[in-house]
Amino acid sequence: MSAANLLCLFIVIPLAGGFLITWVGNRAQRFASYLTRVLTLGQLLTAVGLLVVVNRHGMLVYSTGIGKSTMGISLVLDGLSVFMSVIVSLMAFLIAIYSVDYIERFTSTWKFYALFLFMIAGMNGVIMTGDIFNLYVFLEITSVATIALIAFGVERYQFEAAFKYAILSIMGSFFILLAIALLYSFTSTLNMAQMAYVFAHSGKTHIGMMISVLLIMGFGLKAALVPFHAWLPDAHPSAPAPVSAMLSGVLIKALGFYTLCRIFYNVIGVTPAILGIFMFLGTVSMLVGGLLAIGQWDIKRLLACSSISQMGYIFLGIGLATPLGVLGAIFHVFNHSMIKSLLFLNAGAVEYATGTRDLKKLGGLNQKMPVTGITQLIGTMSVSGVPPFNGFFSKLIIIIAAVAAGRLGYAFCAVVASLLTLGALMKVVRYGFRGPLKPELAHIKEVPIGMRLPMEVLALGCVLGGCLLIPGIRELFLGQAINVILNGKNYMHLVLQHFV
Amino acid sequence: MPVYLLCLILFGLGLYCILRKRNIIKMIIGVVIAQYAVNLFFVLISYTDPVPQAVVLTSIVVGLSLVIVLIALAIRIYEKYGTFDITQIKDLRE
C-alpha cells in the first residue's frame, strides 16, 4: 500500500468517527471523548509521517477516477497541504484533550465531539482536495459543523451569532460557486491542475479578472479580511472556548488563507493587481483589527478582533510574493495558530474558573491561577512580537520583507499594528491577571490538569517556535510550503504527471 | 443571452431579500432564491455536458443541508427572543 492511499483516510476516518459517535454516543458516555482523542492523535502521527514522506518523495496524489482519467475526484498532498495538515492535526489533538474537562458543564457532550470530528473532516478535505468543486463541498461541510458548534451553548446571543455567521458564510459560498461555474465554463474541467494548465496557455483574459474578484470576495469572507470581517467578532467569541480556539487558530487559515494561496498561486496565477489587493486588504485588516481589539472588554471578543489583525500580517506577507515575505507569512500561519489557540484556551480557563469573560469583573487572577497567568503572559508577548518568542521572528521577517521590497508604508503600518496588538493584549494581563484580587473571586481554583496540559504545551511551543527557522528544520517544515507558493506553476506539472 | 440576464436578476432578488428583509424567514427564502439562481447559472453554461448536472445535484443537496441548519436556528431564535424581526435581535450589538 503506497502512502498516497492514506490521504482518503484523513477524510473518511473523522467522518466515520463522527457518525459512530452519533450512533452510540448517547449510550456510552465516555466513548465520544476517547474516540476523538484517539483519532486526532492518530491523525497527528500520520500527518507528521507524511511530512517526512512528502519531503523525501515529493507530492502524493490519490485519484478516485478509473485509470488515468481526471474526471474523478483527486486528493493531492504537497508541501503546503502537509504543512496545513500538521497544523490542523496538532491543534485538533491538543484541543480534544482540553475539551474533556471544559465541555463537562454542557449537556449531551457527545454531540460536541461528533460535530468537532465533522469539522476536522471538512478541513482535511479542503486542504487535500485537488478538485475545485470538491473543495466547495468540504467548505460547506466545515461551515455546517461550525454553525452548529457556535450555537452549542444554546444561549440567546449564541444563536444570534450563529445565524449571522451562517448568512454571511452562505453569501460567501454563493460567490465561490459562481466563480467555480465561470471557471468551469472557461476551462471545461474541475480538476485544479488541468485548470492551471488551461490558464497557463490562454494568456491574459478578462474572465480571469472577474473570477479573481469573485474568489477574493468569497474566500476573503472566510478569511475575515477587513471589508468582510463583520461576522468574526461575533461568531468566534460565542462558541465554546475549544471551538473558538479551533476557529481562530485553524479554520480561518484552512478556509481562507490556504484556499486563496492555492487558487491564486497554483491555479489562476498571480498578477501584480491581485498581489496589490492582498497587501492593501492585509494592511487595512491589521490596523482595523488592532483598533477594534483595543476597545473590547470581553476577553474572547478582544482576541477575535486581534485575529483579524494577525490575518492581515499573513496576507501582507504573501502579497509581497518575495521569498522572505512568503517565509514570514507561512511561519506566521503556524505561529498564529499556536498563539491564538493558546490565548483562547486561556480565556476558556478564566471563564471556567470564574464564570465570566468581562475584564471589568476580573482582577488579580495571578494569585489564584498561576499557570494560566504565565501562559497568558507568554501568549501576549508572543502575539505582539516581543523577542525571543515565535511571534517576534515571523513579524520581523514580514516587516523586513516589506522594507526590502520597498513597501515602507506597509512596513510602518505593520509596526504600528504590532503596538496596537501589544496594547490590546496587555489590557487583558493588566485588568484580568494583575492587581488586587476581587473579593467575589476569592473562592476560585486553578483549572484541572487536563486543561492545563494543552495550555502548557502550546506555551512551550510559543517559546521554542523560533527554532523552526534553524537551517535543516526550516527546509523540512516551512521550506516545502514556501516552494509550493513561490514555484506556483510546478503544481500543475507535478499533478498532471500522475494522469499521463 | 437574455437567459443569463434573467438568472442574474434572480440572483439579485435573492441578495436583495437577504440584505433588506427584516424577517428571518424571508431572509432564508432569499438564501434559497439566490441558491437556485447560482445552480441555474451552472446548468445554463452547458446543458449538454453531464458534469455541471452532477455538480448542481450535489450543490442542491449542500444547499438543502444549509437551509435546514438555518431553519433550525430560526426556530431556536424564535424560542429565545420571541420574534423573527432581525432588528429586535441585538444582544451582540449593545
* A354: Cα separation from own chain's centroid: 28
pLDDT digits over B28-78, tens only? 999 999 999 999 999 998 778 888 999 999 999 999 999 999 999 999 999
Mutation to test the B interface, candidates A174, A175, A214, most B Cβ within 10 Å: A174
Say yes or no: A274 contacts chain B, CB-CB below 8 A.
no
And the C-alpha cell for A331? 511561519
Contact A160 B91 (CB under 8 A): yes
Query: Which of B11, B18, B92 is opposite residue A160, by nearest beta carbon?
Result: B92
Contact B66 A170 (CB under 8 A): yes
DSSP one-letter string for chain B: -HHHHHHHHHHHHHHHHHHH--BHHHHHHHHHHHHHHHHHHHHHH-TT-HHHHHHHHHHHHHHHHHHHHHHHHHHHHHHHHS--BTTT--GGG-
The gap between the terminal CA atoms of chain B, to the nearest Å, is 48
- Assess whether pLDDT exceeds 60 at residue B94: no
Query: Which of A148, A185, A234 is opposite residue B45, by nearest beta carbon?
Result: A185
Q: Which residue of A has its CA nearest to B66?
A: A144
Angle between helices A272-294 and A206-223 (to 10 degrees): 20
Contact B35 A156 (CB under 8 A): no
And the C-alpha cell for A64? 478516485
Cβ atoms A353, A484 nearer than 8 A: no
pLDDT digits over A62-89, tens only? 887 776 677 778 899 999 999 999 999 9
Spell out the residues 6+ positions from residue A160 whose beta carbon is closer than 8 angstroms to its own.
A234, A238, B77, B89, B90, B91, B92
Along the 500 residues of chain A, how does pLDDT read in single tens digits? 577 888 889 999 999 999 999 999 888 878 999 999 999 999 999 999 999 999 888 888 888 777 667 777 889 999 999 999 999 999 999 999 999 999 888 888 899 999 999 999 999 999 999 899 999 999 999 999 999 999 998 888 999 999 999 999 999 999 999 999 999 999 988 999 999 999 999 877 788 889 999 999 999 999 999 889 989 999 999 999 999 999 999 999 999 999 999 999 999 988 899 999 999 999 999 999 999 999 889 999 999 999 999 999 999 999 998 999 999 999 999 999 999 999 999 999 999 998 888 888 888 888 888 899 999 999 999 998 888 899 999 999 999 999 999 999 999 999 999 999 999 999 999 888 888 888 888 888 888 898 999 999 999 999 998 888 888 888 888 888 999 999 888 888 888 888 87
Closest CA to A334 of A143, A85, A121, A42: A85
Contact A190 B92 (CB under 8 A): no
And the C-alpha cell for A255? 478556509
Contact A163 B81 (CB under 8 A): no
Phi, psi of B9 (to 5 degrees): -60, -40
CA distance A60 to A236: 34
Report the CATH number at residue B25. Answer: 1.10.287.3510
CA distance B42 to B55: 8
What pLDDT does A114 receive? 94
pLDDT digits over A293-322, tens only? 998 899 999 999 999 999 999 999 999 989
What pLDDT does A445 receive? 85
Mutation to test the A interface, candidates B28, B62, B89, B90, most A Cβ within 10 Å: B62
Domain that holds residue B57: 2-93
Angle between helices A390-404 and A370-383 (to 10 degrees): 10
DSSP one-letter string for A145-174: HHHHHHTTT--HHHHHHHHHHHHHHHHHHH
What pLDDT does A269 receive? 86
Contact A154 B65 (CB under 8 A): no
Query: Which of B31, B55, B92 is opposite residue A170, by nearest beta carbon?
Result: B31
Tell me chain B's radius of gyration from C-alpha atoms: 16
Contact B69 A161 (CB under 8 A): no
Say yes or no: A143 contacts chain B, CB-CB below 8 A.
yes
Our CA dihedral for A366, A371, A377, A379, rounded to 10 degrees, sits at -150
Longest pairwise C-alpha distance within chain B: 53
- Assess whether pLDDT exceeds 70 at residue B93: no
Query: Where would I find the beta strands (DSSP E) of A254-351?
Result: none
What pLDDT does A158 receive? 92
Q: Which residue of A has its CA nearest to B33?
A: A174
In this prediction the ipTM stands at: 0.96
CA distance A395 to A356: 32
Query: Which of A162, A171, A181 is opposite residue B73, by nearest beta carbon?
Result: A162
Continuous H helices in A58-104: 79-102
Phi, psi of A191 (to 5 degrees): -75, 130
Give Cα separations from A11 to A75, A420, B69 (angstroms): 10, 39, 22
Query: Which of A136, A156, A180 is opposite residue B91, by nearest beta carbon?
Result: A156
Which residues from chain B sit within 8 angstroms of residue A151, using beta carbons? 73, 76
The C-alpha of A345 sits at a distance from chain B's nearest C-alpha, in angstroms, of 22
CA distance A138 to A254: 11
Q: Report which DSSP code applies to A63.
A: E
Indicate the burial class of A486 (C-beta count within 10 angstroms; 0-12, 13-18, 19 or more): middle
Cβ atoms B52, B29 nearer than 8 A: no
* Chain B residues bordering chain A (beta-carbon distance below 8 Å): 11, 15, 18, 24, 27, 31, 34-35, 38, 41-42, 45-46, 49, 51-52, 55, 58-59, 62, 65-66, 69-70, 73-74, 76-77, 80-81, 89-92
Phi, psi of A319 (to 5 degrees): -70, -30
Say yes or no: A470 contacts chain B, CB-CB below 8 A.
no
Global pTM reads 0.94
Identify any residues that bridge with A77 across adjacent strands, giving them in sequence order.
A60
CA distance A445 to A427: 22
Contact B70 A151 (CB under 8 A): no
Asked whether the CA dihedral A356, A358, A359, A362 is positive or negative, the reply is: negative
The C-alpha of A185 sits at a distance from chain B's nearest C-alpha, in angstroms, of 6
SS (H, E, C) A177-221: HHHHHHHHHHHCCCEHHHHHHHHHCCCCCHHHHHHHHHHHHHHHH
Q: Cis omega (within 30 of 0) on the bond before A388? A: yes
What rounded mean pLDDT belongs to chain B?
91
* A–B CB contacts, 8 A cutoff, strictly below: 84
Spell out the residues 6+ positions from residue A254 whose beta carbon is closer than 8 angstroms to its own.
A84, A88, A123, A126, A127, A142
Q: How many domains does chain B have?
A: 1
Closest CA to A92 of A61, A131, A52, A46: A46
Q: Is A333 helix (H, G, I), strand (E, B) or coil?
A: helix
- Assess whether pLDDT exceeds 80 at residue B27: yes
Give contacts of A 42-101 with B, CB under 8 A. 71
Q: Report which DSSP code applies to A75.
A: E
What pLDDT does B89 receive? 83
Query: Which of A147, A185, A234 is opposite residue B69, by nearest beta carbon?
Result: A147
Contact B73 A147 (CB under 8 A): yes
* Single-letter amino acid code for the residue at B73: L
Query: Where would I find the beta strands (DSSP E) of A184-329?
Result: none
What pLDDT does A420 receive? 93
Contact B70 A166 (CB under 8 A): yes
Contact B70 A162 (CB under 8 A): no
The C-alpha of B2 sits at a distance from chain A's nearest C-alpha, in angstroms, of 17
**How many residues can be counted in chain A?**
500
